[in-house]
Amino acid sequence: MKKRISIFSLGLFLMMSTFSVGAQEKIWVDSRERPVQQNEACAYLIVGKKDTSVLVSRFTLDGRKTAETSYSRFGAQKHERTKEGRHTVYYSNGKDSLVEYYHQGRLQGKQTVFYPDGSVFRECPYQKGRLDGDVIQYHPNGRVFRKELYIGDGGECEVAEYFDEKGTEIFGITPYYVPAKIRAQEPFSELCLRLLKYPEEAAKKKIEGQVRVELTVDENGCVTKIRLLNKVHPLLDAEALRVAHLLADNYEWDAMRMDNKPQRVRFALPITFKL
């Protein structure tokens, strides 16, 4: 195992070293795009330099291009990669399946999903990784199926209209995006405030700040992971984690849904301590 890691590290170092001269590197990867030996691979990447970006193209083992992504940094593991610019996914016929744009690793601008024939299936506007604006989805004949307005706070659909293939308005359709929710009678912010207990020692020392905790809610509505995104002071950090675990352990959650399908999601919970 150590030998393999060393080989991968050396390969990645050589790959990064060649960017300055415009060369490309071929990397065999598994289904999670981690470097592996050729006999263990299910795809391969062609990694090269384009202007100030790292351009990565993904291919099947038989040479069909499935995706192309621009990165500001590209490491061996996914957490060492930051998308910056255009990301394109291709159908087997070579036409675009998905085109979207990233800034500092977050969706930014219009995301477009296509039918296999090249016509537009859905358009979603993003700002800083969140839906912000009109989500429009089309029937195969080009008529509008859904038109939903989202405000960029990651919340509920504000206004929605739905139409059949003839343009007649229809009802009873689930919004494209439904955020993960905790099942509680009081608003989420009020619930967090009620559970929060300012540590006495921190209050005496007048320690203040905002701790951000990340919660991962899976497809079944279970909170599977909790971690600190930043640290302020051990007393405040511990209290923020305590509140997060109370929310996870004592309440039921509804999973986030995209296009009426449950999805795993991570979201940041800011907990502010102010005297």
Q: Quick one: CA dihedral 81, 82, 85, 88, positive or negative?
A: positive
Q: Note whether 46 and 98 are same-domain residues.
A: yes
Which phi-psi region, left, alpha or beta, contains residue 50 (left: φ > 0; alpha: ψ -120 to 50)? beta
Write down the pLDDT at residue 76: 83
Write down the pLDDT at residue 32: 87
Q: Note whether 157 and 216 are same-domain residues.
A: no
Q: Return the CATH number at 261.
A: 3.30.2420
CA distance 54 to 7: 21
Write down the pLDDT at residue 14: 39
Write down the pLDDT at residue 41: 96
- 21 vs 140, residue with greater confidence: 140
Structural domains of the chain, count: 2
Q: Note whether 253 and 222 are same-domain residues.
A: yes
Helices 188-195 and 234-250 cross at an angle (nearest 10°) of 120
Q: Note whether 165 and 33 are same-domain residues.
A: yes
Q: Note whether 84 and 165 are same-domain residues.
A: yes
- 73 vs 10, residue with greater confidence: 73
Mean predicted confidence (pLDDT) in 117-145: 96
Token pair of 31, please? Answer: 């289904």
Q: Note whether 38 and 74 are same-domain residues.
A: yes
Last residue of a domain, one of 126, 148, 175: 175
CA distance 129 to 265: 12
Q: What is the pLDDT of residues 84-106, one digit of tens each?
A: 999 999 999 999 999 999 999 99
Last residue of a domain, one of 175, 196, 212: 175
Write down the pLDDT at residue 79: 82
Phi, psi of 237 (to 5 degrees): -60, -45
Q: Note whether 23 and 124 are same-domain residues.
A: yes
Lowest mean pLDDT among 14-28, 33-47, 228-242: 14-28
Q: Note whether 37 and 163 are same-domain residues.
A: yes
Mean predicted confidence (pLDDT) in 206-217: 96
Q: Note whether 215 and 111 are same-domain residues.
A: no
Q: Evaluate whether 215 touches 245 at the Cβ level (below 8 Å).
A: no
Token pair of 217, please? Answer: 């809610």
pLDDT tier at 113, thresholds 50, 70, 90: very high
Q: What pTM was computed for the model?
A: 0.74
Mean predicted confidence (pLDDT) in 58-72: 97
Q: Note whether 188 and 129 are same-domain residues.
A: no
Q: What is the pLDDT of residues 243-270, one digit of tens each?
A: 999 999 999 999 999 888 999 999 899 9
Last residue of a domain, one of 149, 175, 201: 175
Sort 211 into a burial class: Cβ within 10 Å, 0-12 / 13-18 / 19+: buried
Q: Note whether 123 and 193 are same-domain residues.
A: no
CA distance 168 to 165: 7
Q: Note whether 151 and 186 are same-domain residues.
A: no
Give the structural domain span for 260.
Answer: 181-273
Q: What three-state secondary structure class fits 64?
A: coil
pLDDT tier at 154, thresholds 50, 70, 90: low
